[in-house]
């Protein structure tokens, strides 16, 4: 095992996929000689040639439309949207064609393609460079939506996404690109559609994904000072949803908090709360709560810290879970 960053793990996953399958093509804005804005495709064009990894015009709808045709023709395109909000011009292609072609053709055609989207905040970017758009994609039947929270998962999930017969929206948490951990390339981890318990606990379950997994783990460690033993579940797959792993955890602990960066109103966490409440109602000791971003357009860089969920906000929410039948204040 080698300690590498998430960006490096993604780069190695792309390289291995290109080596293992001649049908895999990588293209998008500046992914060629430059290696991408975040250098995830660094060196791939130099090592494999422009016929395998190449730049496209700055036209996201055209990038995805081209990828649809390539996938229909038997290739496995992996495209990059560069930034989350840059993907919106391609949204019609994704929802009307990428997600629906298998159903439209009654299974005669599939689209084995991956749309990589660097997403969420934490890098001090301006509004069109930081957004949490997961709910748009998870609300669209026909798409798989996954997001890694660790470098190991970045490698495993991207390899699985490229091998998938279905189109995959691959959300890469920008603020975690430089996080490091030892990574194995054996591909013997959890299946792409399964959640993982990152930390075991007995008092409350924190449900997180993508950029918030590390924050949830940090919160779990801090919670020991308050006397709470916190379990952390990393969803990994946002669609399909792993009800089995999540509900098993909540039934054990009896309490749950969902954490994500996106705005709370109509956010992905609302679906998680609904599913957990419906399936674990009789085991819950308190309502399932959420810690989310604010219901505002993404703020300027200097105000970003107020938008993003942090350890203190999560601990304050855990304190509201009706311990001893009455809400308490953390630290009291």
The arithmetic mean of pLDDT across residues 238-254, rounded, is: 98
SS3 157: helix
Beta-strand pair 230-234/204-208: parallel
d(CA 166, CA 236): 17
With both helix axes pointing from N to C terminus, report the angle between 212-223 and 311-318 in degrees, rounded to the nearest 10: 60
Considering only CA atoms, which of 15, 1, 32, 37 is closest in space to residue 158?
15
Adjacent-strand bridge partners of 233: 197, 207
Q: Is 282 a catalytic residue?
A: no
Q: Would 2-183 and 196-320 be classified into the same CATH topology?
A: yes
Where does 196-320 sit in CATH, by number? 3.40.50.920
User: pLDDT tens for residues 107-156?
Assistant: 999 999 999 999 999 999 888 899 999 999 999 999 999 999 999 999 99
d(CA 141, CA 239): 9
Where do the structural domains in the chain lie, given as residue ranges? 2-183, 196-320
Residues shown for the chain: 332
Where does 2-183 sit in CATH, by number? 3.40.50.970
Adjacent-strand bridge partners of 133: none
Backbone angle region of 115, left / alpha / beta, with phi > 0 → left and psi within -120 to 50 → alpha: beta
User: pLDDT tens for residues 5-56?
Assistant: 999 999 999 999 999 999 999 999 999 999 999 999 999 999 999 999 999 9
Considering only CA atoms, which of 298, 301, 199, 304 is closest in space to residue 253?
199
Angle at 122 between CA 118 and CA 128, to 5 degrees: 55
The arithmetic mean of pLDDT across residues 89-107, rounded, is: 96
User: pLDDT tens for residues 186-212?
Assistant: 999 899 999 999 999 999 999 999 999
Catalytic residue among 97, 129, 260, 306: 129
């Amino acid at each position: 095992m080698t300690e590498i960053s998430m960006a490096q793990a993604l780069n190695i996953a792309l390289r291995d996929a290109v080596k293992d399958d001649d049908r895999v093509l990588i293209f998008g804005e500046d992914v060629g000689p430059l290696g991408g804005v975040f250098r995830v495709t660094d060196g791939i064009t130099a090592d494999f040639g422009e016929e395998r990894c190449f730049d496209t015009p700055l036209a996201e709808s055209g990038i995805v439309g081209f990828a649809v045709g390539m996938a229909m023709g038997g290739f496995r395109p992996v495209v990059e949207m560069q930034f989350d909000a840059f993907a919106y011009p391609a949204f019609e292609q994704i929802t009307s064609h990428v997600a629906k072609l298998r159903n439209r053709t009654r299974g005669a055609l599939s689209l084995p393609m991956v749309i990589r989207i660097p997403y969420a905040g934490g890098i001090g970017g301006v509004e069109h460079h930081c957004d949490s758009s997961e709910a748009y994609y998870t609300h669209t039947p026909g798409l798989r939506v996954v997001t890694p929270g660790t470098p190991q998962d970045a490698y495993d999930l991207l390899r699985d996404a490229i091998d998938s017969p279905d189109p995959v929206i691959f959300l890469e948490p920008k603020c975690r690109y430089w996080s490091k951990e030892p990574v194995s390339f054996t591909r013997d981890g959890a299946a792409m559609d399964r959640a993982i318990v990152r930390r075991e606990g007995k008092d409350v379950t924190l449900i997180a994904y993508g950029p918030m997994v590390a924050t949830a783990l940090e919160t779990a460690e801090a919670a020991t000072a308050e006397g709470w033993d916190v379990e952390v579940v990393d969803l990994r797959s946002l669609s399909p949803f792993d009800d089995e792993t999540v509900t098993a955890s909540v039934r054990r602990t009896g309490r749950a908090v969902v954490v994500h960066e996106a705005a709370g109103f109509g956010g992905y966490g609302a679906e998680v709360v609904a599913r957990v409440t419906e399936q674990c109602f009789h085991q819950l000791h308190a309502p399932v709560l959420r810690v989310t971003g604010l219901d505002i357009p993404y703020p300027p860089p200097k105000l970003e810290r107020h938008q993003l969920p942090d350890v203190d906000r999560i601990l304050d929410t855990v304190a509201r879970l009706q311990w001893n039948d009455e809400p308490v204040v953390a630290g009291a």
